[in-house]
Chain A
Amino acid sequence: MKNFNGRVLFLDRSDINTDEIIPAKYLTESTKIALKPNLLEDLVLEGFDPQKDIEGKSVVITRDNFGCGSSREHAPWAFEVNGINMVIATGFARIFRQNMFNCGMMAVELDATAVDELFAEFAGEETAIETDIDKGIFTISAGEISRQISFSISEYDLSLVKAGGWVEFADQNY
Chain B
Amino acid sequence: MGKTIAEKIFDAHLVDNPSGDIQVVRLDAVFCHEITTPIAITDLVARGKDRVFDATKIKAVIDHVTPAKDSKTALQGKILRDWARRHNIVDFFDIGRNGVCHAIFPEKGFVRPGYTIIMGDSHTCTHGAFGAFAAGVGTTDLEVGILKGVCAFKKPLSMKVNISGTLARGVYAKDVILALISKIGVNGATNRVMEFSGNVVDAMTMDQRMTLCNMAVEAGATSGICAPDKVTVDYLWPFIEDEYPTKEAALDAFNVFTPDADAAYTDVIEFDVTPLVPQVTFGFKPDQVKPVSDMEGEPIHQVYIGSCTNGRFEDLEIAADIIKGKQIDPGVRAIVSPATPDIYSRALSAGIIKIFMDAGFCVTNPTCGACLGMSNGVLAEGEACAATTNRNFNGRMGKGGMVHLMSPATAAASALTGTISNSPLFQPGGDNQ
Residues of A within 8 A of B (CB): 14-15, 17, 19-20, 23-25, 27-30, 32, 42, 44, 64-65, 68-73, 76, 91, 93-95, 98-99, 102-103, 154-156, 159, 165-167, 170-171, 173-174
Contact = CB atoms under 8 A, between A and B. Distances in A.
Contacts, number: 143
Given A29-B72, A156-B20, A167-B144, A19 B79 contact: no
Contacts of B49: 171
8 contacts: A19-B372, A19-B395, A30-B75, A65-B220, A68-B220, A93-B220, A159-B19, A170-B150
B75 A155 contact: no
Contacts of A93: 187, 190, 220
B39 interface: yes
B18 A71 contact: no
Contact of B396 (A14, A24, A73, A155): A24
Given A94-B220, A98-B138, A98-B141, A156 B70 contact: no
Given A42-B395, A167-B43, 6 more contacts: A24-B396, A95-B136, A98-B137, A99-B141, A154-B20, A166-B140
Interface residues of B, number: 56
Nearest to B139: A73
Contact of B72 (A20, A30, A64, A156): A30
Contacts of A17: 393
A64 to B, nearest CB: 6
B394 A19 contact: yes
Contacts of B393: 17, 19-20, 69
A174 B24 contact: yes
Interface in B85-136: 119-122, 124, 136
Closest 9 CB pairs of A and B: A99-B138, A73-B138, A102-B140, A71-B136, A28-B72, A73-B139, A65-B187, A24-B372, A42-B395
Residue of B65, B148, B393 with most chain A CB atoms under a 10 A cut-off: B393
Contacts of B24: 174
Given A28-B65, A93-B190, A71 B374 contact: no
